[in-house]
Amino acid sequence: MRVFVTGATGFIGTAVVKELIANGHEVLGMARSEEGARSLKAEGVQAHRGSLDDLDSLRSGADSADAVIHLAFIHDFSRFQENCAIDKRAIEALGCVLAGSNRPLIVTGGTAGIAASGHVSTEDHAIPPDSHLPRVSEQTALALKGVSAAVMRLPQVHDPVKQGLVSYAIQVAREKGVSAYVGEGLNRWPAVHVGDAARVYRLALEKHHAGLRHHAVAEEGVRLRDIAEAIGTGLKIPVRSITPAGGTVPFRVAESVRRLRRSPLRAPSLGNDWVGSQLARVCSPTWSE
């Protein structure tokens, strides 16, 4: 199968491209820069120059493929809402080309904010209609008429070098000299190794069914206290519980992350743990990566 992959040179995209090639697929990888194009060619991948805000490049890439995996996202969190709008237009552009063809489109979403606090989130849960999260990749793709679309929901994606939002928690802990969690630290983050995420993308493509939501999750719920303790052990710094209000605590995790990412975002809490919800709302991913 010839697969057009956006975000092909990114953290997750690189793993997905390698997984597809290793299993006999041909990849057309989108690259924003000449450097990115060279890196794809070095892996034996045909490079397609383009970007998310170049809708013609997206259409032409999709037009020449048997399937599309959409991983690209602009990770400038100071312009998060604007970048979410760009992502929405990109998905719509891809859908215009694929409509009526039965060619698969797999877009990337996240696992945050799906189920109510204290409840298990499953692939049967749709995004709540009153969700205030600005990224609407899932809703956009599944609403496309005549498009065989599915969604990959990503948790914290990691390898030995990168650990999703935990990377920011490590950075803050190193800066403050203490690894903190809120209250009892019971809020849980799901996670997956980037190699496993790549395999899920491939399998979702090969066994594609329109309308499905896939949770690319291995560790279903790692407690933030356990994460904080692991960070403390690794950095050889103390581990401390802080109050949910956080306003009188010198260790201001969300403020530190917001400053590190230079993000002015304001969004509703995603859980009952202040640190987890603040980090998630400021740096929400996935994403994908």
pLDDT at 245: 61
Mean pLDDT, 10 residues at a time, the chain of 289 residues:
97 97 97 95 95 96 98 88 95 98 96 80 87 90 97 93 85 92 88 96 98 94 91 94 58 42 33 34 32
pLDDT at 21: 97
CATH architecture of structural domain 2-283: 3-Layer(aba) Sandwich (3.40)
pLDDT at 37: 96
Establish how many alpha carbons lie within 13 A of residue 238's alpha carbon, considering only the half-sphere containing its beta carbon. Answer: 6
pLDDT at 251: 40
pTM equals 0.82
pLDDT at 189: 86
Residue 97's Cα: distance from chain center in Å? 24
Q: What is the dihedral of CA 140, 55, 87, 36, to 10 degrees?
A: 140
pLDDT at 76: 83
Rounded to whole angstroms, the Cα distance separating 17 from 27 reads 7
Rounded to whole angstroms, the Cα distance separating 198 from 119 reads 27
